[in-house]
Amino acid sequence: MIELHDVQFEYSQGGFSLSVPELRISSGTRAAAIGPSGSGKTTLLNLISGIEPPEAGRIQTAGVRVDALSAAARRSFRITHVGFVFQDFLLLDYLDVRQNILYPYRLHPELHLDADARTRAERLAANLGIERFLARRPDELSQGERQRVAIARALVTAPKLVLADEPTGNLDPATKQHALDLLFEQCDAHSMTLLMVTHDHGLLDRFEQVVDVSAFGASRS
Amino acid sequence: MASESDSAGLVKVPGTRTCRAILGCLLVLLAFGCAKKDAQRAPALTDEGARSVYTVNYPLAYFTERLAPEGIGVVFPAPADVDPAFWKPAADVIGRYQRADLILLNGAGYARWTRYATLPKSRILVTADGCRDPFLPTGEGVIHRHGPGGEHAHEGTAFTTWLDMRLALCQARHVRDGLVRLAPSSRESVDRKLEALERELSDLDSRLRATVKVWGERPMLASHPVYQYLADAYGFQIESVHFEPDEALSPEAIQELDALLADHPAKLMLWEAKPLPETEQRLHDRGIITVLFDPAAQPPSSGDFLTVMRANVERLACATKAKPCP
Amino acid sequence: MRDSLFLAWRYLRHHRAKTLLLVLSLSVFLGLPLVMRAMSAVIQESLMARAESTPLLLGKKGSSLDLVVEALYFQPKGIDALTTADANEIDQTGLALAIPMRTGLMAQQFPVLGTSLDYFSFRGLKTAEGRGLATLGECVVGAEVAASLGLKPGDSILTSPSTLFDLAGVYPLRLQVVGTLEPSHGPDDRAVFVDVKTAWVAEGLGHGHQDLATAGNDVILKRKDGTATANAKLVQYNEITDENAESFHFHGDPSNYPVSAIIVVPNDDKARVLLRGRFVNDSARQLLRPAQVVQGLNEQIFRFERVLQLIVWTVGLATALMFVLVMVLSWRLRSDELRTMTRLGCSRWKAVQIMGAEVLLMVGASVALAAFFGFVIAQFGEAWLQNLILRGS
């Protein structure tokens, strides 16, 4: 599913560079990315999803040479193949839960907001236990409920890969566990590959693969 | 109606030849009258031609009918049983006046309703305006004061101006002016008609002057204060009361009469309509001759304004012995 | 585009206070200059139409603008009065029709115009309900008066008292409504019409009271030598009816009775010239062409409007810049949202589309609101604005 080979990356404004000699994550794997702050975890996610192109090297995600795509193609790839769960959820207060879940469909012409998409959204909401909040706005929900909305949004396009950047960082332990259970459950149910950035080493035993980003070459200038 | 000869105190018994002559004359007069009808018919008081002239009394309607050219209708809508001076027309009648092409008012305060009615000023012609200044007072009314404005009198103005034949003529001339304004192309024919009317009114004027020459300043009475202009123009010394012709004299009225006679020993009394026989008798008992002098504010049942005035003048001349009675 | 509009609409709806403020500001910026221009043109046209339909106006010497404003638009300006003699003088020339006008009275908030029947035919005023004036004490009301006060034939309306606290002041006169007029889309719609004699009664120059000749002694202070002095119990009528109409009377010479202005309708051009010549050296009166006077007023309005337009455009530009600033700052504050959009795969063009949709919706709403306000002002504001101009003239 994910293959990186001799990848070199540096931010154009300078300050940080990352070097990934080799990384493989199989399809359907539940993987965690760990490392200290500033080690390049988010950068790794950006490279894998095509948000940032590498300076050199090869990145293959879900069978697609992401490094060889144009910016537009990378966007297209991202919206159709990758689902994102963010630490701060980044839900939109002016949309209700249903519309937040369906948000990705509003952003790209390749995705069609049809009856199937709406059905998928409602099913995900039901599976995540938030179906009764569909008409509410995010600021009316608890942290845990908002996280579940974010998960639903990430999964609504049926991506092959889910990238989660510390999705449980703001949750209390009980809610954290519950959120993870739901995330894993959904990924497993739909055979999605999960790569999750986490600082919580107590969760690592729940993952099949742990990627230590600090082992890659990262430098700050 | 008692014969006029009775009231004049003269009795005549005509002979057969005389009767035939009179009948013949009457027939001639009838024929002549019929022939003249077209020119001197009583005003068609409900005719409204292409243009209409509304008047507030019969004399003006008569003058207008006499002078009006073709195409102008004359309307005097007051009911026959109402004194036009005190008539209160309904709003719809006032509306008809408003729509008239020419509204002839008498002037001198005649027709009280015109004081508070809304009439189009541009189409009003006050026929007596400029004929006399000032108009005569009725000699009635209470001087009073209320509020800070000081004294003022709600005394009336005498308005039967047409009883002075010269004023009547002046009014007729104003009627002519109004008609010429309406129909400028008919000026000549209107002027010709006016000349004829002028002659007739002047004749009446002369006869009244002749009457007063004989009568002099001997006092007269009048049943109502409606003869001011007649008195003023011709010098008749008339004092007025308020006696109704169709009502018997009350004791108060007789008292008033006697009191008046004490200062004003009249031997002749003018009435607008024939009084009751008992009234005539009471007057006769006091040596007073009653003389019918119809102001002709309303159309007569027969004849017209001039025939009425001629008859008035004849009766007065007869009663004053200014000329022999017929 | 539909998705962009959807997201834009949802955002604007959620932040309705900010949206409303921006939309209102924009609508004022967009609409005001256009409305001003349109209104100005309409007012100038309607003012001018009224003035041009009045050939000549005779009044006391003084401010010609005040005379025109009071006589044509019924705005009280306190002009000095002529007399009926002046109207008679015009009539007697045979050169023109004189239509007297007595202004200054009010009935509730509407001006009362005392005039003659000729005024109605001159202005082409037609009766909608009822009939025209026939007698003293009657009134005919303009279309707006009828609609505003719910008046119809058979109703009545009181003139406003001349003074509230002056016990010797003139008390209100109850006028009988006998007719309502069809709309004429001018000042006549907002007027109450009476016979000029009724106006005189309403202002206390004529009155009706019990007949002192027959009145009881309780209203007589003293009688002596044919003179009766009434006391304060004398009933003076504040309404003219069929029963008491004849008791109403005026004292003094009617030719001295006041007339605020006289509309002079010359028979022809020659008559107009002759009449103007007669008054050119008159020290006490002025005979003027209302159109000429209103043209001067229109020029002032036009000059004022140009200055106002400049101010409005300047303020509008500032408003537009503020709008842009608010939008830019707003998107800065939504940088997280932009970042999320990008990460989720949204193109820069799509992001611009979404931002543009917000601007489009707000501008669209502003245009619609400006159009609506313009329509409302055009429908109802002309009279108000005309009053404002005439009151301040």
Residue ranges of domains in chain B: 51-134+157-201, 215-319
C–B contact (≥3 CB pairs within 8 Å)?
A: yes
Interface of C with B in 199-238 (CB under 8 A): 209, 212-213, 226-230, 234, 236
The last residue of one of the domains, among C288, C309, C336, is C288
Residue A8 has pLDDT above 80, yes or no: yes
Task: Tell me, yes or no, whether C25 and C106 share the same domain.
Answer: no
Place of tokens 């007697």: C92
Task: Give burial (CB, 10 Å; 0-12/13-18/19+) of A122.
Answer: middle
**pLDDT class for A18, splitting at 50, 70, 90?**
confident
Nearest to C354 by CA among A122, A95, A155, A46: A95
**pLDDT class for B140, splitting at 50, 70, 90?**
low
C338 in a structural domain:
yes
Mutate which: A88, A98, A101, A107, vs C, most C CBs within 10 A: A107
- How many interface pairs between B and C have CB atoms less than 8 angstroms apart? 86
Rounded Cα–Cα distance for residues B121 and B102 (Å): 10
C231 in a structural domain:
no
**pLDDT class for A63, splitting at 50, 70, 90?**
confident
Q: CB of C120 within 8 A of CB of C131?
A: no
pLDDT reported for residue C243:
78
C14 to chain A: which residues are within 8 Å by CB?
93-94
N-to-C CA span, chain C:
53
**pLDDT class for C235, splitting at 50, 70, 90?**
low
Q: What is the rounded average pLDDT of the residues C49-54?
A: 91
Mutate which: B83, B97, B112, B118, vs C, most C CBs within 10 A: B118
Task: Tell me, yes or no, whether C148 and C282 share the same domain.
Answer: yes
Number of H helices, E strands in chain A: 7, 10
From residue C250, give the alpha-carbon distance in Å to each of B107, C206, C265. Answer: 16, 4, 28
C385 in a structural domain:
yes
Rounded Cα–Cα distance for residues A59 and B14 (Å): 157
- Compare all CA atoms of chain A with the CA of C346 and give the residue at the minimum distance: A107
**pLDDT class for B152, splitting at 50, 70, 90?**
very low
DSSP assignments along C263-298, one per residue: EEEESSHHHHHHHHHHHTT-SSEEEE-HHHHHHHHH
Cα dihedral B199/B204/B210/B216 (nearest 10): -140
Determine which helix (DSSP H) or strand (DSSP E) holds C223, and give its type and residue range. strand C220-224
Q: State both tokens at C315.
A: 């303020």
pLDDT reported for residue B147:
46
Rounded Cα–Cα distance for residues C97 and C90 (Å): 7
B94 to chain C: which residues are within 8 Å by CB?
134-135
Which of the four CATH numbers 3.90.550.10, 3.20.20.150, 3.40.50.1980, 3.40.640.10 does domain B51-134+157-201 have?
A: 3.40.50.1980
- Which amino acid is located at B21 in the chain? A
The last residue of one of the domains, among C230, C261, C288, is C288
C218 in a structural domain:
no
Place of tokens 């010709």: B192
Which of B117, B145, B148 has the CB atom closest to C135's CB atom?
Answer: B117
Rounded Cα–Cα distance for residues B229 and B65 (Å): 24
Task: Tell me, yes or no, whether C259 and C356 share the same domain.
Answer: no
Determine which helix (DSSP H) or strand (DSSP E) holds B216, and give its type and residue range. none
Q: Do C229 and B119 touch (CB under 8 A)?
A: no
DSSP assignments along B100-136, one per residue: -SEEEE--TT-STHHHHB---GGGEEETTTTTSSSPP
Q: State both tokens at C329.
A: 């700052």
Nearest to B257 by CA among B221, B217, B293: B221
Rounded Cα–Cα distance for residues C253 and C259 (Å): 14
C91 to chain B: which residues are within 8 Å by CB?
121-122
C317 in a structural domain:
yes
Cα dihedral A39/A45/A50/A55 (nearest 10): 20
- Classify domain B215-319 at the CATH topology level: Rossmann fold (3.40.50)
Positive or negative, the CA dihedral B183, B189, B195, B196 is: negative
Read off the pTM.
0.65
- Which amino acid is located at B86 in the chain? F
C172 in a structural domain:
yes
pLDDT reported for residue C214:
60
- List the alpha helices (DSSP H) in C217-264: none
Which chains have at least 3 CB atom pairs separated by less than 8 Å from chain B?
Answer: C
- Which amino acid is located at A215 in the chain? A
Q: Measure the CA angle with vertex C29, ends C28 and C30; round to 5°.
A: 90
Residue B51 has pLDDT above 70, yes or no: yes
- What total of structural domains would you count in chain C? 2
Residue C93 has pLDDT above 60, yes or no: yes
Q: State both tokens at C192.
A: 């109450």
Please give the residue range of the domain that contains residue C387: 2-46+298-392
Instruction: Tell how far CA C217 is from the center of its chain.
Output: 49
- Tell me whether domains B51-134+157-201 and B215-319 share a fold: yes
Mutate which: A75, A76, A113, vs C, most C CBs within 10 A: A75
Q: State both tokens at C38.
A: 């349109």
**pLDDT class for C204, splitting at 50, 70, 90?**
confident
Q: Do C135 and B118 touch (CB under 8 A)?
A: yes
Q: Do C15 and A94 touch (CB under 8 A)?
A: yes
Q: CB of A9 within 8 A of CB of A47?
A: yes
Strands B102-105 and C174-181: unpaired
Q: CB of A103 within 8 A of CB of C4?
A: no
pLDDT digits (tens, 9 = 90+) for A149-185: 998 999 898 888 999 988 877 777 777 788 788 888 8
Q: How many residues are present in chain A?
A: 221
Q: Is B266 helix (H, G, I), strand (E, B) or coil?
A: coil
Domains and CATH numbers, chain A: 2-220 (3.40.50.300)
Q: CB of B179 within 8 A of CB of B67?
A: yes
DSSP assignments along B237-256, one per residue: EEEE----TTSPPPHHHHHH
pLDDT digits (tens, 9 = 90+) for C316-371: 888 888 888 888 888 888 888 888 888 888 888 888 888 899 999 999 999 998 88
Which of C131, C227, C240 has the CB atom closest to B95's CB atom?
Answer: C131
Q: Do A75 and C346 touch (CB under 8 A)?
A: yes
Rounded Cα–Cα distance for residues C125 and C123 (Å): 5
Q: Do B144 and C132 touch (CB under 8 A)?
A: no
Rounded Cα–Cα distance for residues A50 and A62 (Å): 12
pLDDT digits (tens, 9 = 90+) for C26-42: 888 888 777 777 777 77
Task: Tell me, yes or no, whether C259 and C309 share the same domain.
Answer: no
pLDDT reported for residue B57:
96
DSSP category for residue C234: P
pLDDT digits (tens, 9 = 90+) for B20-34: 655 554 544 444 444
pLDDT reported for residue C215:
58
C126 in a structural domain:
yes
Instruction: Tell how far CA C20 is from the center of its chain.
Output: 33
Mutate which: C344, C346, C350, C358, vs A, most A CBs within 10 A: C344
Place of tokens 């005003």: B43
**pLDDT class for C231, splitting at 50, 70, 90?**
low
pLDDT reported for residue B179:
96
Which of A9-13, A88-92, C187-191, C251-255 holds the top average pLDDT? C187-191
Q: Do C132 and B154 touch (CB under 8 A)?
A: no
Nearest to B315 by CA among B326, B303, B299: B326
Q: What is the rounded average pLDDT of the residues C150-162?
A: 89
Q: Do C3 and A75 touch (CB under 8 A)?
A: no
Q: Is C343 helix (H, G, I), strand (E, B) or coil?
A: helix
From residue C279, give the alpha-carbon distance in Å to each of B257, C257, C284, C286. Answer: 59, 21, 9, 6
N-to-C CA span, chain B:
17
Rounded Cα–Cα distance for residues C196 and C118 (Å): 12
Which chains have at least 3 CB atom pairs separated by less than 8 Å from chain C?
Answer: A, B
Task: Tell me, yes or no, whether C281 and C303 share the same domain.
Answer: no
Candidate from A36-45, B207-216, C45-54, C155-164 with smallest mean pLDDT: C155-164
Task: Tell me, yes or no, whether C91 and C136 share the same domain.
Answer: yes
The last residue of one of the domains, among C288, C311, C345, is C288
Residue B5 has pLDDT above 60, yes or no: no
Nearest to B83 by CA among B60, B111, B64, B119: B111
C330 in a structural domain:
yes
Task: Tell me, yes or no, whether C160 and C280 share the same domain.
Answer: yes
Q: Do A90 and C341 touch (CB under 8 A)?
A: no
Positive or negative, the CA dihedral A184, A190, A191, A192 is: negative
DSSP category for residue A191: T
pLDDT reported for residue C152:
94
pLDDT digits (tens, 9 = 90+) for C295-317: 888 888 778 878 888 888 888 88
Q: CB of C152 within 8 A of CB of C181?
A: no
**Phi, psi (deg, nearest 5) at residue C281:** -105, 15
Rounded Cα–Cα distance for residues B40 and C199 (Å): 44
Which of A88, A90, A106 has the CB atom closest to C7's CB atom?
Answer: A106
Q: State both tokens at C322.
A: 């503020």
Rounded Cα–Cα distance for residues B305 and B307 (Å): 6
Rounded Cα–Cα distance for residues A117 and A106 (Å): 12
Place of tokens 């009316």: A140
Candidate from A99-103, A217-221, B81-85, C242-246 with smallest mean pLDDT: A217-221
Q: Kindly state whether C196 is in contact with chain B, defined as any CB-CB distance less than 8 angstroms.
A: no
Peptide bond into C100 cis (omega under 30): no
From residue C18, give the alpha-carbon distance in Å to each of C12, C13, C22, C154. Answer: 8, 9, 6, 54
Which of A170-179, C32-41, C208-217, C254-263 holds the top average pLDDT? C254-263
Which of C138, C229, C245 has the CB atom closest to B144's CB atom?
Answer: C229
Instruction: Tell how far CA B185 is from the center of its chain.
Output: 31
Rounded Cα–Cα distance for residues B124 and B215 (Å): 40
Q: Do A103 and C6 touch (CB under 8 A)?
A: no
N-to-C CA span, chain A:
32
